Amino acid sequence: MEYWNDFRALPYSDTILVAAGALITLLAVIRIVQSSLKMFFWVLLAGLGLAAVAHGSGRAPWEAKLAGVELGDVVGPGKEMSLDVLRLLCLKLDESRRD
């Protein structure tokens, strides 16, 4: 602890600490970027792709077709049949579990 206090008593100790800390930080950042440069490229490419999707989805041709359409309109006549099919599938599943 005495050495640290002697070092801190020097007139340029703050400058030395700042320079050493900046150098260590710079070396660490360079090593991180070197090891993850490929990953950074793919993350950047994915971000550009998502930005293109977000920008283009507002003017997509299916937007006009789906405007004002309710789920009930799409399902319509098949509602009752779907319930019967689901009931039959559940019965088959129960039978297969018993075997």
String of DSSP letters for the chain: -HHHHHHHHSTTHHHHHHHHHHHHHHHHHHHHHHHTHHHHHHHHHHHHHHHHHHHHGGG-HHHHHHTT--HHHHHGGGHHHHHHHHHHHHHHHHHHHH-
pLDDT values of the chain reduced to their tens digit, one per residue, 99 residues: 888 888 888 888 888 889 999 999 999 988 887 877 777 788 788 888 888 877 776 666 655 555 566 666 666 666 666 777 778 878 887 887 776
Whole-number pLDDT of residue 26: 92
Q: Report pTM.
A: 0.38
